Chains A and B, each alone.
Chain A
Amino acid sequence: MLEWFDVFFSIFVAIYSFFVLSSYVAMAILAFLEHRKHYTYHDDAYTIEELKKSPYTPGISIVAPAYNEEKTVITNVKSLLSLDYPDFEVVIVNDGSKDKTLELLIENFDLVQVPYAYVEKIKTKPFKGLYKTRSDNPAFKRLTVVDKVNGGTKADASNAGVNVVSNKFFVCTDVDCVLDQYALYRIIWPTMASTRRVIAVSATMRMSNGSIVEEGKMVDSRPPHDLIPLFQDLEYTRSFLIGKTALARLNALQNVSGGFGMFDREIVIKAGGYDGDSFAEDMDMVARMIRYMCDAGEDYRIVQIPETCCWTEGPPNLKVLNRQRTRWGRGLFQFFSVHRDMVANRNYRRYGGFTLTYILLFELLAPVVEFTGYITVIWFFLRGAVNYNTIWIAYLGLYVFAQLLTMVIISYDTWVGTSFKRKKDYLWFVLASLLEPILYHPLNVWFSLRGYWKHIWGTQMVWGNMTRKGVQSAKPAAPKPIAPTPVQPVSQEKKTDA
Chain B
Amino acid sequence: MEYYTLSRYAYWKYYILVFYYRLAEYPIPVRLWMLFGSICMLLLVAIVIGNAARSFTSYRFDRLVQHNRERYYERMKTVVSQARTLDPAEVSAILELPKNFKMKERQNRSFVPVLLELRREMEGSISQPNWVRLTQALKMPVYFESQILSRKIRKRVQGFKDVADLDANLKEAVASRYLFTKNRKLQMHARLHAARFGTSYPFKVLEEDPNLVFTDEMVVKYHNVLVYRQNNGLTMPNFIRWCNRVPVNEELRIFAVNEIRLFNRREDCAELLSMLESSRDEAFSCTLIRALGEMEYVPAEKEFLRRYLSASFTERQVLAEALGAIHSGNPEVVRFLADDLVQTTDYVSRMTLLRVIHDYGAIGLQTYEKIKAESNFELEPYFAHIECNLIDSRRYA
Q: Are A397 and B37 in contact (CB under 8 A)?
A: yes
In chain B, positions 182-223 with a C-beta closer than 8 Å to chain A are: 185, 213, 215-217, 219-221, 223
**Complex contacts, B44 vs chain A, CB 8 Å:** 400, 403-404, 407
Q: B91-99, B133-141, B379-387: which one contacts chain A?
A: B379-387
Expressed in whole angstroms, the Cα–Cα distance for A57 and B216 within the complex equals 9
Q: Is A337 an interface residue (CB 8 A)?
A: no
Tell me if B311 is interfacial: C-beta within 8 Å of chain A.
Answer: no
Q: Using a CB-CB cutoff of 8 Å, which residues 1-51 of chain B contact chain A?
A: 26, 29-30, 33-34, 36-37, 40-41, 43-44, 47-48, 50-51
> A72 at interface (Cβ–Cβ under 8 A)?
no
- In Å, the complex CA distance between A467 and B388 comes to 41
Q: Does A411 contact B (CB under 8 A)?
A: yes
Query: Which of A14, A40, A132 has most chain B Cβ within 10 Å?
Result: A40
Per the 8 Å Cβ criterion, residues 356-392 of B in contact with A are: 381-382, 384-385, 388, 390-391
Residue of A nearest to B384 (CB): A115
Q: Is A1 an interface residue (CB 8 A)?
A: no
- Residues of A contacting B396 with CB < 8 Å? 117, 166
Contact across chains for B390 and A134 when beta carbons are under 8 A apart: yes
Contacts of B216 in A (CB 8 A): 56, 191-193
Task: Return the chain B residue nearest A144 by Cβ.
Answer: B391
**A39 contacts the other chain (CB 8 A):** yes
B391/A394 in contact, CB under 8 A: no
Q: Does B227 contact A (CB under 8 A)?
A: yes
Cα A97 to Cα B160 with chains together (Å): 52
* Contacts between the two chains (Cβ within 8 Å), count: 119
Partner among A54, A132, A411 whose Cβ is within 8 Å of the Cβ of B50: A411
Please choose the segment from B151-159, B284-292, B320-328 that sits at the chain A interface, where 4 or more of its residues have CB less than 8 A away.
Answer: B151-159
Chain A contacts with B in 24-68, Cβ cutoff 8 A: 39-41, 43, 45-46, 49-51, 53-57
Instruction: Tell me if B55 is interfacial: C-beta within 8 Å of chain A.
Output: yes
Measured in the bound complex, the distance between the Cα atoms of B36 and A390 in whole Å is: 15
Query: B40, A401: Cβ atoms under 8 Å?
Result: yes
Complex contacts, A189 vs chain B, CB 8 Å: 217
Is A114 touching B388 in the complex (CB atoms < 8 A)?
Answer: yes
B246 contacts the other chain (CB 8 A): no
Q: Any chain A CB within 8 A of the CB of B342?
A: no
Residue of A nearest to B158 (CB): A43
Is the CB–CB distance between B223 and A414 below 8 Å? no
Interface of A is mostly: helix
Residues of A within 8 A of B43 (CB): 404
Q: Taking the complex as formed, is A393 at the interface, i.e. its CB lies under 8 A from any CB of chain B?
A: yes
- Cβ of A79 < 8 Å from any Cβ of B? no
Contact B397 A132 (CB under 8 A): no
Is A388 engaged at the interface, CB distance under 8 Å to the other chain?
A: no
A112 lies within 8 A of chain B by Cβ? yes
Please judge, given known A-B contacts A114-B391, A393-B30, A393-B34, whether A51 and B51 are in contact too, CB under 8 Å: no
Given A117-B385, A407-B47, A423-B55, the answer on whether A53 and B390 have CB atoms closer than 8 Å is no
Docked-complex contact A132 and B390, CB < 8 angstroms:
yes
B-side interface size class: 35 or more
In the complex, the answer to whether A193 meets B215 with C-beta atoms within 8 Å is yes
Contact of B351 (CB < 8 Å), options: A45, A54, A117: A117
Is B161 part of the binding interface, using a Cβ–Cβ cutoff of 8 Å? Answer: yes
Chain B residues whose CB sits within 8 angstroms of the CB of A396 once the complex forms: 37
B214-245 vs A, Cβ < 8 Å mask (1 yes, 0 no): 01110111011001000000000000000000
Known contacts A46-B161, A414-B51; A397/B40 CB under 8 A: yes
In the complex, the answer to whether B153 meets A40 with C-beta atoms within 8 Å is: yes
A115 in contact with B397 (CB, 8 Å): no
Question: A439 to nearest B CB, angstroms?
Answer: 21
| A133 interface hit (Cβ, 8 Å) | yes
Question: Which residues of the other chain, B, contact A410 by a CB distance below 8 angstroms?
Answer: 51
The B interface is mostly helix, strand or loop, or mixed, namely helix
From A14, A133, A193, contact of B217 by CB (8 A): A193
Which of B37, B213, B391 is close to A400, meaning CB atoms less than 8 Å apart?
B37
Q: How far, in Å, is A23 (CB) from chain B's closest CB?
A: 15
Measured between beta carbons, the chain B residues less than 8 angstroms from A401 are: 36-37, 40
Please, how many angstroms separate the alpha-carbon atoms of A57 and B221 in the complex?
Answer: 11
Complex Cα distance, B165 from A414, in Å, reads 25
Q: Is the CB of A397 within 8 A of B55?
A: no
Cα-based distance from A397 to B34 in the complex (angstroms):
7
Q: Which of A150-192 contact B (CB under 8 A)?
A: 165-167, 189, 191-192
Scan A385-407; emit 1 where CB is below 8 A from any B CB, else 0. 00001100110110011011001
B47 in contact with A404 (CB, 8 Å): yes
A459 interface residue (CB < 8 Å to B): no
Chain B residues in 8 Å Cβ range of A133: 390
The answer to the question of A194 belonging to the interface, with a C-beta cut-off of 8 Å to chain B, is yes
- Check A54–B30 contact: CB distance below 8 A: no
Q: Please give, as numbers and ranges, the residues of chain B lying within 8 Å of A137 by CB-CB distance.
A: none
Check B397–A117 contact: CB distance below 8 A: no
B371 to chain A, nearest CB (A): 15
CB of A145, distance to nearest CB on chain B (Å): 12
A195 lies within 8 A of B213 (CB) = yes
**C-alpha gap A408/B347 in the complex (Å):** 52
Q: Least Cβ distance of A141 to chain B in Å?
A: 8
A396 to B47, CA, bound (A): 19
Q: Are B219 and A56 in contact (CB under 8 A)?
A: yes
The yes or no answer to A119 lying at the interface (CB within 8 A) is: yes
| Complex CA–CA separation, A423 to B54 (angstroms) | 11
- Select from chain B the residue with minimum beta-carbon distance to A430: B48
Instruction: Say yes or no for B306: interface residue by CB 8 A criterion.
Output: no
Q: Is B262 an interface residue (CB 8 A)?
A: yes
Tell me the residues in window 122-149 of chain A with beta carbons closer than 8 Å to chain B beta carbons: 132-134
Contact indicator B165/A46 (Cβ below 8 Å): yes
Residues 420-451 of A contacting B (Cβ, < 8 Å): 423
CB closest chain-A residue, reference B347: A119
CB <8 Å contact, B37 and A51? no
Closest A residue to B154 using CB positions: A40
- CB-based contact A411/B395 at 8 Å: no
Distance of A422 from chain B, by nearest CB (Å): 11
Contact B157 A41 (CB under 8 A): yes
Bitwise interface map of B from 38 to 81 toward A, beta carbon under 8 Å scored 1, else 0: 00110110011011001100000000000000000000000000
Chain A min CB distance to B255 (Å):
9
Q: How far is the CA of A167 from the CA of B397 in the complex (A)?
A: 8
Give 17 A-B contacts (CB < 8 Å), ordered by A residue.
Answer: A40-B154, A43-B161, A112-B390, A116-B391, A117-B347, A117-B381, A117-B382, A117-B396, A134-B390, A166-B396, A192-B220, A390-B30, A393-B26, A393-B37, A397-B36, A400-B37, A400-B44
Binding site for B on A (CB under 8 A): 14, 21, 39-41, 43, 45-46, 49-51, 53-57, 89, 112, 114-119, 132-134, 165-167, 189, 191-195, 265, 389-390, 393-394, 396-397, 400-401, 403-404, 407-408, 410-411, 414, 423
* A-binding residues in B (CB < 8 A): 26, 29-30, 33-34, 36-37, 40-41, 43-44, 47-48, 50-51, 54-55, 116, 153-154, 157-158, 161, 164-165, 185, 213, 215-217, 219-221, 223-224, 227, 258, 262, 347, 351, 381-382, 384-385, 388, 390-391, 395-397
